[in-house]
């Protein structure tokens, strides 16, 4: 049939391509069918967020030809922003505004309680000013003392080299602490951080499901290690 305008993008003359890969919708469909409690947050440096959210909304309205039964997942079409500085991280979306200056857990708690599907534009200029290293990347907060919530960040620009990667993972090592430590990518690789293999994601519709399952298995081991070891020791991923 004719490609859906909201779900596809023009490519070569006369051709259209998926705006969002079917493997992503397979992940949504499977998690929903299995009764899993989850939320999805798009994080981009670009300006494509409104279109991506609209595409997901259309798919969840039953308009995706491969996943016509996708339903019942709310999508907030209001794009938010995350802006970073040396002093704090500030999140805004609509009337919402949160900052980490007084309490480093505010944004962690915000994403913990996030429902449905939404998205935020991250701070590209801050990443560039920090020479595209981890500390200038998209912030992600992890609390190994909170086993009921597992945050997984999937991005094709995640790399094991902290001088050249796109996410800034921050771990609350002390229980109840409001001051997280910056963690190396290696500590959370395939635990909370996944470097997307784009070719696999295209070829295998179960690709993101495999990623999530692998992270869940490793996260259980990570939590056990963090509970047993002193907070200053880092899980070696083995």
Q: Where are the alpha helices (DSSP H) in the chain?
A: 22-33, 49-58, 106-112, 124-129, 185-188, 198-203, 207-228
Residue where the block lists tokens 């963090």: 226
Which has the closest alpha carbon to 163: 195, 132, 188, 186?
132
The DSSP call for residue 107 is H
CA distances from 205 to 40, 200, 209 (A): 18, 9, 8
Residues near 93 by beta carbon (within 8 Å), at least 6 away in sequence: 76, 78, 79, 80, 81, 118, 120
Q: Is the pTM of this model over 0.75?
A: yes
- Residue listed under structure tokens 């798919």: 59
pLDDT tens column, 124-176 = 999 999 999 999 999 999 999 999 999 999 999 999 999 999 999 999 999 98
Q: What per-residue confidence (pLDDT) applies to 28?
A: 96
- Report residue 227 as tokens: 């509970």
Q: Where does the pLDDT of residue 236 fall: very low under 50, low under 70, confident under 90, or very high at 90 and above?
A: low
**Range in 5-9, 22-26, 45-49, 54-58 with the lowest mean pLDDT:** 5-9
What confidence score (pLDDT) does residue 218 get?
Answer: 97
Phi, psi of 126 (to 5 degrees): -65, -40
Contacts of 122 (CB under 8 A, 6+ apart): 43, 44, 45, 82, 138
* Alpha-helical runs (H) found in 15-48: 22-33
Q: What is the pLDDT of residues 31-42, one digit of tens each?
A: 999 999 999 999
Residue-wise over 66-102: b if at least 16 C-beta within 10 A, else e? ebeebeebebbeebbebbbeeeebbbebeeeebbbee
Banded pLDDT at 230 (limits 50, 70, 90): very low
Burial class of residue 167 (count of CB atoms within 10 Å of its CB; 0-12, 13-18, 19+)? buried
Which residue from 152, 232, 150, 144 is spatially nearest to 189, judged by alpha carbons? 152
Check residue 71 and give its pLDDT: 83
Helices vs. strands in the chain: H and E counts, helices first: 7, 12
Contact criterion met (CB below 8 Å) for 132 and 168: no
């Amino acid at each position: 049939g004719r490609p859906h305008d909201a779900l596809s993008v023009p490519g070569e003359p006369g051709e259209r391509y998926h705006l969002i890969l079917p493997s992503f919708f397979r992940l949504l469909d499977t998690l929903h069918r299995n009764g899993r409690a989850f939320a999805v947050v798009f994080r981009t440096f670009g300006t494509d967020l409104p279109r991506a959210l609209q595409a997901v909304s259309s798919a969840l309205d039953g308009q995706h030809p491969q996943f016509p039964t996708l339903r019942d997942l709310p999508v907030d079409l209001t794009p938010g922003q995350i802006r970073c500085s040396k002093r704090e991280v500030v999140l805004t979306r609509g009337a919402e505004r949160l900052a980490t200056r007084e309490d480093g857990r505010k944004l962690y708690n915000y994403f913990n309680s996030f429902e449905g599907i939404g998205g935020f534009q991250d701070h590209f200029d801050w990443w560039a000013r920090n020479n595209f290293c981890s500390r200038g990347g998209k912030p992600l907060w992890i609390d190994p003392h909170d086993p009921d919530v597992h945050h997984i960040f999937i991005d094709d620009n995640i790399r094991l080299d902290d001088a050249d990667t796109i996410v800034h993972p921050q771990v609350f090592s002390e229980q109840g602490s409001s001051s997280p430590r910056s963690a190396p990518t290696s500590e959370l690789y395939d635990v909370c951080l996944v470097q997307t293999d784009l070719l696999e994601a295209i070829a295998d519709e179960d690709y993101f499901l495999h990623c999530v399952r692998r992270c869940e298995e490793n996260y259980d081991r990570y939590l056990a290690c963090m509970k047993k070891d002193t907070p200053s020791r880092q899980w070696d991923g083995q």
